[in-house]
Chains A and B, each alone.
Chain A
Amino acid sequence: MKLKDKIILWSRLKSPWILHFNTGACNGCDIEIVDALTPKYDVERFGLVLKATPRHADVLVVSGPVTRQQAKRLKRIYDQMPEPKFVLAIGACACSGGVFDGCYSVVGGLDKVIPVSAYIPGCPVRPEAIIDGVVKLIGALESGSKKKVEAK
């Protein structure tokens, strides 16, 4: 791996900035996401910073089943993020639609609209699970990047 690739990989792994978006959740997972960002669980020690715009975000953290009203808005926000970008599905509803799967107003899980990098189940998802998912995503990115570069 070249030094340039190492520096780029290091900077991406050490500062994955996130954008949180609710696509129709009951707010249970939203509260747990906010809990994870507080000092008690402190997911910010991994370099995560909550941003208010997709232009600055590397990871889109989504909670809730994708409602029909939110589907195009979610896609628009995903398209507005710069590459490389990743998506975290937080909670049972984001993973598969949860209890709302099959409802008339719900498209379903997140992967029906945008590609998902990691699924974190739970109802609501525990902050420890969010931290575990984030760490595993960062580890997967690291191993994935290294494999991609070595395959060149």
Chain B
Amino acid sequence: MEILLYPPVAFLIALSAVYLFAAFFSNWAPKPAHNPEKTKTYACGEDFPSEKVIPGYEEFYPFAIFFTVLHVAGLMLATMAAASAISFAVPLIYVVLIGIILTVLFIR
């Protein structure tokens, strides 16, 4: 029964339960009268033209990469075992390397 507690299994169970719940109760909802206004933006009755928004990711990627590098370092430090030499050395070497790289980057 412990397999039910594994995150992927629990996620699939929760997803299935929510889907079944939604499918069952959506039959209870009244059938809507199709009207083009129902999918338009509400703007207090005004005919507001909808615009497609395409977000730009150029500013997001530097933050994402920086976060990933430091987050991995944090996880490695958090999960290292001080008693084992190999387990102790690898995260520290990684953090030192990151420190050197960031120092070079920021000094330049």
**CB distance B47 to A76 under 8 Å?**
yes
The answer to whether B42 has its CB under 8 Å from any CB of chain A is yes
Nearest chain A CB to B82's CB is how many angstroms away? 56
Q: Convert A58-97 into 0s and 1s, putting 1 for each residue whose CB lies closer than 8 angstroms to a CB of B.
A: 0000000000001011101101101110000000000000
Nearest chain B CB to A60's CB is how many angstroms away? 11
**CB distance B35 to A79 under 8 Å?**
yes
Nearest chain A CB to B55's CB is how many angstroms away? 24
Interface residues of B in 13-47 (CB under 8 A from A): 28, 30-33, 35, 37-38, 40, 42, 44-47
Interface size classification for chain B: 10 to 19
**CB distance A83 to B47 under 8 Å?**
no
Q: A4-B28, A8-B28, A83-B30 are in contact. Are A74 and B42 (CB under 8 A)?
A: no
Point out residues on A near B: beta carbons under 8 Å.
4, 8, 21, 53-55, 70, 72-74, 76-77, 79-80, 82-84
